[in-house]
Amino acid sequence: MPTSSYTDLLLRLLKREDRGYPVELTLNNQLEFSRGYLSPAIAQWTAGALDAESGRRLFELLTEDDQVAGAWAMIRGSAPQRRIRLSIDAEAAELNPIPWELLCDPGDLAGGIGVNLAAADDTPFSRYIAGAQDYTKPVAPHRVKILAAIDNQAGLER
């Protein structure tokens, strides 16, 4: 199986503003697309069922802004294999309960079946939730003590 090169896609959902939740898309920590907005109504969205149809509806809501839709189309065309990292800012915590792992990109597939982004090999998906990290001091080096016990069975010398 040939090795493939994945592009890193960071999808950030930021604190709600008057227009909605800002959406930022960045490829490989370099190429940043124009900011779009996610409707404030998304915070009340619930999946009717945990199925592909709900995933398509969620994807439609995510890409209903022209900036986000245009960026997504460009990314899909230029980077078919992409690691998708969803980052939800701590100040947008109301978006955490939404099952983002259902996102289903209808793409250009015949029949509108689409691709579940979290389940497809070409689009590994992970979610990052902002939170305070409490780092402790490293463990102080110390001597390792090992106890070895050997049973004194008959014929052990063989």
Whether 146 is in a domain gets the answer no
Whether 140 is in a domain gets the answer no
Whether 141 is in a domain gets the answer no
Please give the pLDDT value at position 4: 62
Whether 144 is in a domain gets the answer no
Q: Is 100 exposed, middle or buried (CB count within 10 Å of its CB: 0-12, 13-18, 19+)? A: buried
Whether 119 is in a domain gets the answer yes
Domain that holds residue 27: 7-129
Whether 81 is in a domain gets the answer yes
Answer for the pair 112, 126: CB distance below 8 angstroms, yes or no. Answer: no
Alpha-carbon gap, residue 113 to 155, rounded angstroms: 68
Query: Residues 84-139: pLDDT tens digits?
Result: 999 999 999 999 999 999 999 987 654 566 889 999 999 999 998 766 667 777 77
Whether 152 is in a domain gets the answer no
Number of structural domains in the chain:
1
Whether 136 is in a domain gets the answer no
Tokens of 29: 């920590």
pTM of the model: 0.76
